[in-house]
Amino acid sequence: MFQNIEEAKKDIEEFGPLRLVSSLRKNALEKNVNPYLIVDAAIIHQDLLGKLKKTNFHWQRTGSEKLAKRLDWTKKSINRIDAILTAHAQRK
């Protein structure tokens, strides 16, 4: 999941609250935690995000940070990514 609050804030900014709720739900189910707690987490998330947007604290990612995060997320989402990348590199 997230290593710290800063990482969570950046993920929320980039992918939005639905991905966070989906991640929390998946994590809860994997660890045999009551998934109804996710509703509470989503409400807290929405409140936190609203408060953050009202501050002048710079918490949003730059374009290059967003691109790097998307690439990292994509790699983690694809099964056997290492084999695919190796095969692609060999074709060049």
- Report the alpha-carbon angle 39-41-42, nearest 5: 65
The residues near 70 (Cβ < 8 Å, ≥ 6 apart) are 14
43-88: per-residue pLDDT in tens? Answer: 888 888 888 888 887 777 888 998 999 888 888 888 888 898 899 8
3-state class of 46 per DSSP?
Answer: helix
Claim: this prediction has a pTM higher than 0.85: no
Summarize pLDDT for 18-37 with one digit per residue, the tens: 566 666 666 666 666 666 66
